[in-house]
Amino acid sequence: MSTLARQIAADFPILGKKVNGHPLTYLDTAATALKPLPVIESVTHAHRELSANVHRGVHQLSREATDAFDRSRETVQKFLNAFRSEEIVFTSGTTASINIVANTWGRSTLKAGDEIVLSHMEHHSNIVPWQMLCQVTGCVIKVAPINDRGELIMEEFKALLNERTRLVAVNYVSNALGTINPVKEIVVAAHAVGALVLVDAAQAVACLPVDVQDLDCDFLAFSAHKLFGPTGVGVLYAKYALLKSMPPYFGGGDMILSVTFEKTIYNEPPYKFEAGTPNIAGVIGLGRAIEYVTSLGFDAIGQHEKMLLKLASDELSRIEGVRLIGTAREKVSIVSFVIDQVHPHDIGSILDSEGVAIRAGHHCTQPVMARFCIPATARASFSIYNTEEDVARLVGAVHQVRKVML
């Protein structure tokens, strides 16, 4: 077992669970990461000791909850290296964050003939909101193609950029292929034609350092549950000048300065975009998850996951009939594959009977599946708590698939 996995093994109690009589082998982190004890305990503590609303009460319990909530915003700011904490908006997840940008900046800025550039490897959450925006504004989507390895073809991406390009929306890491996109180069190219850039960092934040000032992206979104935090919490980062100029998306409490029946004066960012009672315990849990990941260090995380990626890719490639989908030179520890004459759903079901949890399906990336002329893939995604033994169990279970199905 690697040093990192040995160090944190006891932090993830669910790994002691048995599935169908087998030890759990959890290889579905790309869908949602397991939660370590420090995060679980922080959420429990928030409910038990800080069960009050934030930014409203003057009593001690409310002050304590507000302090903990606001500390999480500062933790996210430092984690992303945002210029100021007011650039951090708490949302319900990556999907909500992207929809906020589409329905505020997009609706107030874009017009017929304007162009949005996406990559062919985007998650549906970074496609559908822009399609909906196009129906309202008349703007147009252009799609940058990918090659057979699952890499963005940068020459063709850059050829799509012109004076009509207003936004480039691209994932940092593909959830279906594991590809790491050259985001910094993408931002430079987009800014050269006056376009803004939104980065979907949902798959990146748990395994790569993300520095928004270094990237110089205009918007960035991620979800807590991909980062070993709670579900139902996410982050929208945006440059402060953009947040200041954007209209609010939801109306209600805490996003206002004053309300009369004749007029409402909106609060300043980020509160302008945080109407209603937030997921207080979830936000506090996100802050603790960031502290947990930061304490491990991205160098150690990257080294561990690269080892697992190479081991799994090499071992699966040796199995007759197995074909890897997504072999980018730069990728994270996501291994998508198909087996000749076996549907991925059957692969997933048989692996589950062996206690191996993977994802089987189109992964909310149907255009990616169409690009590779397949209906779906089986996807094994590795993380900090996985081991070489987990790879061996995956490989053994794939051999069992072939034995049962072929």
The residues that are catalytic are: 364
Rg (CA), the chain: 22
CB 174 within 8 A of CB 164: no
CB-CB contact of 335 with 347 (8 Å): no
- For residue 170, how far is the Cα from the chain centroid? 12
What is the CA 354 to chain-centroid distance, rounded?
A: 28
Q: Which two tokens stand for residue 365?
A: 């990336």
Query: Is the alpha carbon torsion for 121, 123, 128, 129 positive or negative?
Result: negative
**CA angle 261-263-264, nearest 5°?**
105
Report strand pairing: 25-26 vs 356-357.
parallel
Tell me, what DSSP letter sits at residue 239? -
Query: CB–CB of 357/20 below 8 Å?
Result: no
Q: How far apart are CA 144 and CA 157, in angstroms?
A: 5
Q: Which residues contact 125 (CB under 8 A, 6 or more apart)?
A: 94, 95, 98, 200, 364
